[in-house]
Amino acid sequence: MDAIKGLLPNVRSKAPLVHFLTNYVTVNDCANITLACGGSPIMADEKSEVEQISSLCAAVVINIGTVNVRTLSAMLQAGRYANDCGIPIILDPAGAGASDFRNDAVSRLLREVNFTAIKGNISEVKFLSNGIMSTQGVDASTEDLVCEETLYDTLVFSRQLSVMTGSVIMITGPIDIVADSQRGYAIRNGHPMMARVSGTGCMSGAVAGCFLGANPSCALESMVVSTAAMGLCGELAYEKKTMLDAGVSTYRNLMIDAMDKLTEDVLAERAKIQRIF
Amino acid sequence: MDAIKGLLPNVRSKAPLVHFLTNYVTVNDCANITLACGGSPIMADEKSEVEQISSLCAAVVINIGTVNVRTLSAMLQAGRYANDCGIPIILDPAGAGASDFRNDAVSRLLREVNFTAIKGNISEVKFLSNGIMSTQGVDASTEDLVCEETLYDTLVFSRQLSVMTGSVIMITGPIDIVADSQRGYAIRNGHPMMARVSGTGCMSGAVAGCFLGANPSCALESMVVSTAAMGLCGELAYEKKTMLDAGVSTYRNLMIDAMDKLTEDVLAERAKIQRIF
Amino acid sequence: MDAIKGLLPNVRSKAPLVHFLTNYVTVNDCANITLACGGSPIMADEKSEVEQISSLCAAVVINIGTVNVRTLSAMLQAGRYANDCGIPIILDPAGAGASDFRNDAVSRLLREVNFTAIKGNISEVKFLSNGIMSTQGVDASTEDLVCEETLYDTLVFSRQLSVMTGSVIMITGPIDIVADSQRGYAIRNGHPMMARVSGTGCMSGAVAGCFLGANPSCALESMVVSTAAMGLCGELAYEKKTMLDAGVSTYRNLMIDAMDKLTEDVLAERAKIQRIF
């Protein structure tokens, strides 16, 4: 996939400012991995300023992890504005399916905002498409995880959802999927321990925001490469964690450290990106 | 205390989903230690969704560390609902005694919700019982810390408070106390450095939520063992910190790492649990 | 600068309680570096309790990083109360200049509250003085960074602003500046990697709050020494980071670790404080 070349260097050279309307659980990790990746984060969710903040930014990331009535209103405002200005915008429907409020929030966001990309685990993304599913917290139900057996079906589903929404679809899991209406990819980077750290998914969205902000004309490629980059950081961190005989909290830091040190060469060498259709 | 056997393995095998309505200072630590312990965290404080979120969960943890009018309302809603459904619920009255607003918040919570367990430092818990005390921030006033001299009195006090509230009472300090109306325990695990990390108390509540969620019929035992487990992680982390010549921030991560690696065998071997009455 | 002697030991011996009304991105780092420094943090932004919380504290720190209508109101309340009681109060105008809402927030805060000290990067602080500037996120625009060439002009500007506001002015950057109407200092501690960690500036404000809380009659000296201390921790952390071959996330922890271990002797030996006027 030659199209991936240069995307990470673009993040480093352009240092895209990324506007986050996100949850208060993992917001610090999102800020720090954005910096580690080469971007610059700004968090703002006061409705009366989100338009101006978005206007300064190369990308907007909306994550509904701890959304409430006030912040939903700000998200809608920022989203519509980003659309008007042509600023790339990502939706992370964290915990979609867990409550009517969250479901309505996602529905409204999808109705009023055109997202450049939507990223979530299979439960969350499936909810978006059919509104009928079981969601346990913000983790994916294990029966649904994307693996070799379900890969093809998930890609077909992602393509359909991309046609419906106009968004690039990214589904995180043991295998990560990225697809639009024309092309579908499987990314086989990552490590199971990533699921044991709060905010891995949110950080993945942050990294995607940096890539998208720095490479706005390559939305699909940005999602593919940022997914591979995040997964690779999970692998590199696991290698170092084993060496240090450390646990999950140190592992979280090592993932961000790995993003800080990630080079285009290592990414090109170790990214496991396969085009499926 | 043979009854403690199997409680931690239950957390690991059941992976209880725990609903947190907690402060924005230490929420990330709560999420990560929940995962490290074997549970699965979900944070949600929008009033219109807290009932549905709680309904998915094995336990609810309410921590008033940065409570405001909006989140108090959500806490009351979640608490009453958890009671209706028989879901175990923990109160961490962080900073109780520091302001009339906090005091009123605690009073309302105690009046409208029956808590399975209440955990706090001696200042906070004393406030609950008499409403008259000095509280400095969210740390315990040093004159009141539970030590060998005050152990017996504190246990008597805890038993009385348990009779009043119907809750298991956990008081954190140099010696940790857990008591209900029938039984009282002193737990002598932990390390003084734990008090120098923001969120140790909150994390203790998170771990308690995991144990309670996985062992709902053993409320007292869950509080006793989770307290010993958290304290033991403080000890194990201190040993590693010394080895690494590190400071308090690394120590925080090492505590969570220790919870990740904690085994039933090490817990059984090193837990210092003494039944007093 | 003999006047700096004893300021850090005062923090350690007095353990000042510091009230934070701050952003939810870096609040945990602020809490932990406060503890590492020797202070005790309490975060509270419910309007109906901020006066009572402030009344317990030795200093108040207001940081507008994620301010909204609700929290601005609490900040004004706490600020006016701190003034009435003579409690030292610091303003960190994080992201000032980025939106009309933030600008209005800063204007109202400056109009209604007399701040003991104002700290920010050059963009933020310049905005305070002329209301006309370019701000990119919460990082300083590179063209404005304080360096040897711009040092004199920045000090003159800081002195003018101090005259206008009555506050000690601290400007963070490659060289840190602290000035009041009578005296101006350049502090040459720190490391470029500090800018790659989210919250370094916020932590600097937290440390300043601890010094000010413990040394209320030495506002200028507190700001000078706390700036040197924070910068020195950035240097010490960088040395350890290099030794460990770690990245930015570990570096964040090492900065807090360094504050935990910082002694008066090392501070006296390595602080690079120069009086300019």
| Residue in B25, B99, B248 nearest the CB of C43 | B25
* pLDDT, tens digit, 9 for 90 and up, residues B209-225: 999 999 999 999 999 99
* pLDDT, tens digit, 9 for 90 and up, residues A160-201: 999 989 999 999 999 999 999 999 999 999 999 999 999 999
Beta carbons within 10 angstroms of residue A89's beta carbon: 29
pLDDT band at A145 (very low <50, low <70, confident <90, very high): confident
- Chain A residue numbers with beta carbons less than 8 Å from the beta carbon of B258 are 247
> Using CA atoms, how far apart are residues C198 and A28, in angstroms rounded to an integer?
7
Instruction: List the domain range (segments joined by +) for residue C20.
Output: 2-275
Q: From the CA of A34, how many Å to the nearest CA of chain C?
A: 9
Q: From the CA of A136, how many Å to the nearest CA of chain B?
A: 7
User: Which range among A193-197, B157-161, C50-54 shows the weakest confidence by mean pLDDT?
Assistant: B157-161
Residue A137 pLDDT > 50: no
Which two structure tokens, joined as six digits, stand for A263? 């080079």
- For A137-140, which contacts have Cβ atoms below 8 Å and span 24 or more sequence positions? A137/A95, A137/A98, A137/B17, A137/B40, A137/B41, A137/B42, A137/B56, A138/A65, A138/A94, A138/A95, A138/A98, A138/A201, A138/B42, A139/A195, A139/B40, A140/A173
**Do C202 and C23 meet the contact criterion of CB atoms below 8 Å apart?**
yes
pLDDT band at C131 (very low <50, low <70, confident <90, very high): low
Q: From the CA of C160, how many Å to the nearest CA of chain B?
A: 36
Question: Where do the H-state alpha helices sit in chain C?
Answer: 7-14, 27-37, 47-55, 69-85, 100-112, 122-130, 151-165, 200-214, 219-244, 248-261, 264-270
State the average pLDDT for chain B: 93
Subunit contact C100:A36, Cβ cutoff 8 A: no
- Contacting subunits of C (3+ beta carbon pairs below 8 A): A, B
| Residue in A36, A40, A41 nearest the CB of C247 | A36
Burial B248-263 (b: 16+ CB within 10 A, else e): bbbbbbbbbbbbbebe
Q: From the CA of C232, how many Å to the nearest CA of chain B?
A: 15
B28 — contact with chain A (CB < 8 Å)? Answer: yes
Q: From the CA of C256, how many Å to the nearest CA of chain A?
A: 14
DSSP B139: B
Mutation target for B interface from A198, A240, A242: give the one with most B CBs within 10 A.
A198
Subunit contact C43:B28, Cβ cutoff 8 A: no
C44 — contact with chain B (CB < 8 Å)? Answer: yes
- Chain A residue numbers with beta carbons less than 8 Å from the beta carbon of C74 are none
Q: What is the mean pLDDT of residues C244-266?
A: 97
Residue A134 pLDDT > 50: no
| Residue in C26, C67, C250 nearest the CB of A253 | C250
Q: From the CA of A130, how many Å to the nearest CA of chain C?
A: 34
DSSP B141: P
A52 — contact with chain B (CB < 8 Å)? Answer: no
State which residue of chain C sits closest to B26, comparing Cα positions. Answer: C28
Please enumerate in sequence order all residues whose Cβ is within 8 A of that of C205, keeping only pairs 6 or more positions apart, or say none: C30, C61, C63, C90, C92, C119
**Do C230 and C204 meet the contact criterion of CB atoms below 8 Å apart?**
yes
Among C38, C30, C74, residue whose Cα is nearest residue C53: C74
| Residue in A24, A65, A252 nearest the CB of B24 | A24
Beta carbons within 10 angstroms of residue B130's beta carbon: 9
| Residue in A32, A49, A70 nearest the CB of C249 | A32
Subunit contact A98:B70, Cβ cutoff 8 A: no
Subunit contact A256:C246, Cβ cutoff 8 A: no
- Residue C144 has a pLDDT of 66
Residue B138 pLDDT > 60: no
Q: From the CA of B80, how many Å to the nearest CA of chain C?
A: 23
State the average pLDDT for chain A: 93
Beta carbons within 10 angstroms of residue C220's beta carbon: 22
* pLDDT, tens digit, 9 for 90 and up, residues C57-109: 999 999 999 999 999 999 999 999 999 999 999 999 999 999 999 999 999 99
* pLDDT, tens digit, 9 for 90 and up, residues B46-66: 999 999 999 999 999 999 999
Subunit contact B41:A136, Cβ cutoff 8 A: no
| Residue in C28, C53, C258 nearest the CB of B247 | C258
Burial of C261 (0-12, 13-18, 19+ CB in 10 A): middle
State which residue of chain A sits closest to C27, comparing Cα positions. Answer: A28
- Residue B127 has a pLDDT of 85
Residue B132 pLDDT > 80: no
- Contacting subunits of B (3+ beta carbon pairs below 8 A): A, C
pLDDT band at B145 (very low <50, low <70, confident <90, very high): confident
Q: Amino acid identity, residue B173?
A: G
Residue B137 pLDDT > 70: no
Residue B136 pLDDT > 80: no
Number of domains into which chain A is organized: 1
C133 — contact with chain A (CB < 8 Å)? Answer: no
**Do B207 and B258 meet the contact criterion of CB atoms below 8 Å apart?**
no
Q: What is the mean pLDDT of residues C166-182?
A: 96
State which residue of chain C sits closest to B23, comparing Cα positions. Answer: C43
Mutation target for A interface from B32, B40, B250: give the one with most A CBs within 10 A.
B32
pLDDT band at A141 (very low <50, low <70, confident <90, very high): low
User: Which range among A123-137, B232-246, C227-241 shows the weakest confidence by mean pLDDT?
Assistant: A123-137
| CA Rg value for chain B | 17
* pLDDT, tens digit, 9 for 90 and up, residues B54-105: 999 999 999 999 999 999 999 999 999 999 999 999 999 999 999 999 999 9
| Residue in A42, A45, A258 nearest the CB of C138 | A42
| Residue in C23, C198, C247 nearest the CB of A260 | C247
Q: From the CA of B227, how many Å to the nearest CA of chain C?
A: 22
Report the run of H or E that residue B21 belongs to, with start and end.
Answer: strand B17-21
C256 — contact with chain B (CB < 8 Å)? Answer: yes
- Residue B242 has a pLDDT of 97
Enumerate residues 173 to 232 of chain A having a beta carbon within 8 A of any beta carbon in chain B: 196-199
CATH number for B187: 3.40.1190.20
Q: From the CA of B56, how many Å to the nearest CA of chain A?
A: 7
| Residue in B46, B48, B261 nearest the CB of A247 | B261
B239 — contact with chain A (CB < 8 Å)? Answer: no
